[in-house]
Amino acid sequence: MAAPLHGEDGLIWAPGWLDRAAQQVLLEDVRAVLRRAPLYTPTMPRSGAPLSVRMSNAGALGWVTDKQDGYRYQATHPATGAPWPPIPARLLALWSDILPDAPPPEACLINWYGQAGARMGLHRDRDEEDLETPVLSVSLGADAWFRLGGLRRGDPTRRMKLSSGDVLALAGKSRHFYHGIDRIVPDSSTLLTSPQRLNLTLRRVTRA
Ligand SMILES: O=C(O)CCC(=O)C(=O)O
Ligand SMILES: [Mn+2]
């Protein structure tokens, strides 16, 4: 757990921040959340096409999408109607370790890449009322090729490999950058059965 690296454009990069034991206890926390708030298959606004990533949330607010109402935050699970479970204390601690000056996160999106073809297209995180507080993401399980671009969709992109235990924060200018997951690398981690990957994305939604 070395100090996080501060890269260009405000990017904060902490590869290997969580060791194997820390990944395992966090995975148990996530499993406990998923028992109360099961993964569901989100769908695209308007077209209703299913995303290849299944999702759930923890926190006062969760990010959801479906054909009818599109991208949004809401306090309840779209299938069960129950409030989301609280964000695990370990994740709140991790947030303040990496982002000591940020207001606490309100949403923890759980992205589950469950099959080899699962991916996430290039997008910006912009459904939050607070677009300045950094977005922090934790990777567990299989490696993933993360693509990071710039402020405009057509800007040049670079790719970074995200591995289990890595923590990345889009802060400063990079908070507004296009990004996505090109693909998952099978047989790259033993934390979860290949090719599964979990990503936890913590965000502040309302203005503090
Ligand atoms: O899975 C990842 O590492 C990225 C997730 C992401 O960008 C998002 O949920 O908005
Ligand atoms: Mn994103």
Distance 143 CA to ligand 1 centre (A): 13
Question: Looking at the predicted structure, is the pLDDT value of residue 155 above 80?
Answer: yes
- Name the average pLDDT for the chain: 97
Q: The CATH number of the domain where 61 resides is what?
A: 2.60.120.590
Q: In Å, what is the CA distance from 204 to each residue of 48, 79, 85, 164?
A: 27, 23, 16, 23
Average pLDDT for 55-67: 99
Residue 173 to residue 54: CA distance in whole angstroms: 29
Question: Looking at the predicted structure, is the pLDDT value of residue 16 above 90?
Answer: yes
Name the residue of 13, 113, 120 to mutate for ligand 1: max ligand atoms within 8 A of Cβ.
Answer: 120
Number of separate domains in the chain: 1
**Residue 83 domain flag:** yes
CB under 8 Å to 133, separation ≥6 — which residues?
A: 99, 102, 103, 175, 203, 204, 208
**Residue 42 domain flag:** no
Look up the pTM and report it: 0.98
Q: What is the span of the domain harbouring residue 10? A: 5-37+49-203
Average pLDDT for 56-81: 98
CB under 8 Å to 18, separation ≥6 — which residues?
A: 1, 26, 94, 138, 164, 165, 167
Local confidence band at 74 (pLDDT 50, 70, 90 cut-offs): very high
